[in-house]
Amino acid sequence: MNMLTRAERIYATLLHLYPKAFRREFGEQMQLCFRDAWRAAHLEPPIARLALLIDTGVDLTVIVSKQYFQEIQHMNEITRARLFALATMMSGIAWIILWVILNGDDTFASRASKTASFVLIYPTIALALVGLARLIPRSLSSRIAVAAGLIMLALSLVGVMLENWILFSLPLSLFFIAHAIVSIGILRHKPFAYLNGLSLITFGLFISIYIANPYNYTEALAQAWGTSLVQYTSTFILIEMIQSSLFVLIGLAWFVVGILMARISKQAKAINI
């Protein structure tokens, strides 16, 4: 297989990232475009191919998300609500599984990972319940959502207090404040959709930055090297890194949900963010 064919095949595979309708309508034409551009770049110095790959990568990233946003904007309210519900439920389920896995084993789960999972589990359950409530096509669903959310908010408050002897001067308390806003925002999705979206974005970013902090890895390494090397092997470090990476991914997923919500809300549309 030569370079040309490989690049074209990779691009054809990446086209599957686009929404199905868009891909069906324009996928083949886009593939032809890339093929021609790639072949033309081969007639120029190698830097032209690199430039084309970078351009195409940026183009793909930006336009794929844009096409999904446009699809969401054209959905009706019920479909949007269901999409939102599905996203929140999936994130909730993912968190619950992760939390159980992390907290089920004291040997491998580091303190930082456990704390993060502990703090984040409650709003995620709240999100999942609210998502579930939104699937029920009755007015009662909003009441269930509010009740569930408030219970989970209270639980998260108690949880954070018990775990960290909450002090608002601690950076960790920002987690609490953030997920309190998120929970309230979710409960009143429509009127506060914009704020809700922004808070989710901030929340997701904060989690990503906090969890991605090299300190977590350093801590894992220190634990591994500082204690018995017989007990803590490279498997331990690997598991630590996988765990931290999962947190980063989930943090980024929150970020995406935040953008999604901000984009689909009417308020966001009005101020054109």
Partner 1 sequence: MPHPAPNTFLPLSTPVLHILLALADEERHGYGIMREVKTRTDDEVRLGPGTLYGAIKRLLNDGLIETSGERPDPAIDDERRTYYRLSGLGAKVLHAELDRLNKIIAQAIGKQLSLSAALSIGSKGDLTGGRV
- Minimum CB separation of residue 1 from partner 1 in Å reads 21
Return the number of the residue (46 or 171) whose C-beta is nearest partner 1. Answer: 46
Q: Measuring CA to CA, which residue among 195, 207, 248, 244 is closest to residue 123?
A: 207
- Minimum CB separation of residue 69 from partner 1 in Å reads 11
Return the number of the residue (56 or 124) whose C-beta is nearest partner 1. Answer: 56
- Minimum CB separation of residue 167 from partner 1 in Å reads 48
> Which residue's structure tokens are 């580091």?
110
Return the number of the residue (58 or 161) whose C-beta is nearest partner 1. Answer: 58
Return the number of the residue (65 or 103) whose C-beta is nearest partner 1. Answer: 65
Return the number of the residue (55 or 163) whose C-beta is nearest partner 1. Answer: 55
- Minimum CB separation of residue 30 from partner 1 in Å reads 4
List residues binding partner 1 (CB under 8 A): 18, 22, 25-26, 28-34, 36-37, 40, 55-56, 58-60, 62-64, 66-67
**CA angle 53-54-57, nearest 5°?**
85
- Minimum CB separation of residue 37 from partner 1 in Å reads 7
